[in-house]
Amino acid sequence: MAEPRYLLRTFGCQMNEHDSERIAGLLTADGYVATEEAADANVVVFNTCAIRENADNRLYGNLGHLRPLKQANPRMRIVVAGCLAQKDGGTIRERAPWVDVVVGTHALPGLIELLHRAETEGPQLDVREQTEIFPSALPALREVAHHAWVSIAVGCDNACTFCIVPLVRGPQLSRPIGDVLAEVQGLARRGVVEITLLGQNVNTYGRDLTVPRSAQRPLFADLLRAVNRVEGLRRIRFTSPHPHDFTPDVIDAMAESDKVCEHIHFPLQSGSDRVLRAMHRSYRRERYLGWLERIRAAIPGIAVSTDIIVGFPGESEEDFEDTLDVVRRARFDQAYTFQYSPRPGTRAAEMEGQLDKPEVQERFDRLVALQEAIALERMREQVGSSAEVLIEGLGRKGGAQGRTRGNRVVHVGGEHAPGTFLDVRIVGAHPHHLEGELAERREHAAVG
Ligand code: SF4
């Protein structure tokens, strides 16, 4: 008999990518193989995001497309997982009764049992409020052999007024340092050379942990240093630190740890103190810029990326000018820019002063134009330098594509397998990628 097949679609952030690797791992351990065709699939899983605009419309659109397939093949099982499942729970089955399993972010370990129960008992819903088993402890099936996401904490204790995460992922729960290290050591033994440590706010890692017979809790800097000692690993990344909770010992740990890459994602969100207050982000613009200065002084050449929201409720032209001013002074290598749109369930959605779309669009275009010009300048500064590039896959215009330690995308000619390290000379610059020429090929190749 042919093996059962699953189709998995992932929406949203790296946390969802990480959870999808676990969903794929659980299904594989239960005998399923992956397919890209919904018509072929015995199980279709949507791992959903509640943050992006129109996330629910997109989900119901996708579910609508599946309906005729489900009618033709009633044995097909449809699963909705992730943040929307956690947030909307039973509403999903009310709007799309052909869904078989709704599994929230905390209930992922029970996915296979829910699927089996759906066979005999009908539709299943599990949107429990607390994580009992860390998703990272589950078997994973990763799309690439050389890189892995490693979750160090789930949930968040902050309450940014635009964000749905605390509602759907709950308060922060840190993973014991020994468990993180054991996972990273195992990954390195299996040929993973690059890891990204994941948490909503990595700087508060460990605050909720206790260590037997010790008054000290492990902090994020301790974790960075410990992971840096894992043999076989070549690159360590992390996302995201919160400017409010940033501490000098993290800068020291980054500077001392040779495997920690020279890149930091440091979310600004707004350059206006008034808007930061309304967002409930408890740092201010000068403090943010002060941190950047210290980070750049300690780690020369570090690349900095950020997130910026335009058009938060009540944002005035003056507030927006403050954001442009910080962008000019910070000279980000990359910025993920978003137009504010209200997310049901967040405090910002209820605030007065919601701006009109054309006004937000006009500001957004100005911000993007400024940031693109800065990004190009920053990229041009790289031309003529040498860089180590870790190949990730095919380039869009032929050749291969990889990333420097500074997380800059580089296109290189020729065929190179994912997981290969190359030494390249940077010969061309664009706002979002560099062009490189091969200097020397290193011997490392990823383990398949
Ligand atoms: S720090 Fe703020 S934006 Fe980030 S996950 Fe927590 S509440 Fe959301």
Ligand 1 atom having least distance to the Cα of 164: 8
Q: Does residue 447 surpass a pLDDT of 50?
A: no
Of the listed ranges 18-27, 264-273, 435-444, the least confidently predicted one is 435-444
User: What's the pLDDT score for residue 1?
Assistant: 60
- Percent of the chain, pLDDT > 70? 96
Rounded to the nearest whole angstrom, what is the distance from the C-alpha of residue 285 to the centroid of ligand 1? 18
Model confidence at 115, pLDDT cuts 50, 70, 90, reads very high
Rounded to the nearest whole angstrom, what is the distance from the C-alpha of residue 266 to the centroid of ligand 1? 12
- Percent of the chain, pLDDT > 90? 71
Q: Does residue 365 surpass a pLDDT of 70?
A: yes
3-state secondary structure labels for all residues of 213-250: CCCCCCCHHHHHHHHHCCCCCCEEEEECCCHHHCCHHH
- Torsions phi, psi for 344 (to 5 deg): -55, 140
Q: Which residue has the higher pLDDT, 316 or 448?
A: 316
Contacts of 222 (CB under 8 A, 6+ apart): 177, 206, 253
Rounded to the nearest whole angstrom, what is the distance from the C-alpha of residue 155 to the centroid of ligand 1? 9
Ligand 1, residues 105, 158, 204, 340: which to mutate, most atoms within 8 A of Cβ? 158
Model confidence at 215, pLDDT cuts 50, 70, 90, reads low
How far is residue 34's CA from residue 41's CA, in Å, rounded to a whole number?
8
With a Cβ cut-off of 6 Å, ligand 1 is lined by 156, 158-160, 163, 165-166, 200-201, 242
As to burial, measured by CB atoms within 10 angstroms (0-12 exposed, 13-18 middle, 19+ buried), residue 132 is: exposed
Model confidence at 145, pLDDT cuts 50, 70, 90, reads confident
Give SS3 for 353. coil
pTM as predicted: 0.85
The listed range with the strongest mean pLDDT (29-43, 283-297, 385-399) is 283-297
Rounded to the nearest whole angstrom, what is the distance from the C-alpha of residue 150 to the centroid of ligand 1? 19
Ligand 1 atom having least distance to the Cα of 201: 1
Model confidence at 53, pLDDT cuts 50, 70, 90, reads low
H or E stretch including 309?
strand 303-310
For 250-309, how does the pLDDT look when each residue is reduced to its tens digit (9 = 90+)?
999 999 999 999 999 999 999 999 999 999 999 999 999 999 999 999 999 999 999 999
Two tokens at 435?
A: 């062009």
User: What's the pLDDT score for residue 15?
Assistant: 84
How far is residue 152's CA from residue 226's CA, in Å, rounded to a whole number?
13
Instruction: Answer yes or no: are the C-beta atoms of 372 and 337 closer than 8 Å.
Output: no
What is the dihedral angle through the alpha carbons of 397, 399, 402, 408, rounded to the nearest 10 degrees?
-50
Ligand 1, residues 15, 52, 160, 308: which to mutate, most atoms within 8 A of Cβ? 160
Neighbours of 201 (CB within 10 A): 21
CA 119 centroid distance within chain = 33
Scanning the structure block, which residue is given the tokens 């070549």? 234
Pairing of strands 263-265, 43-48: unpaired
Side-chain half-sphere exposure of 130, counting CA atoms within 13 A: 3
Ligand 1 atom 8: residue of nearest CA: 163
Ligand 1 atom having least distance to the Cα of 166: 7
Ligand 1 atom 4: residue of nearest CA: 200
Rounded to the nearest whole angstrom, what is the distance from the C-alpha of residue 273 to the centroid of ligand 1? 17
For 345-361, how does the pLDDT look when each residue is reduced to its tens digit (9 = 90+)?
899 999 999 999 999 99
User: What's the pLDDT score for residue 448?
Assistant: 40
Cα–Cα distances in Å, from 17 out to 23, 87, 266, 319, 417? 10, 18, 20, 34, 22
DSSP 44-99: EEEEE-SSSTTHHHHHHHHHHHHHHHHHH-TT-EEEEEEHHHHHHTHHHHHH-TT-
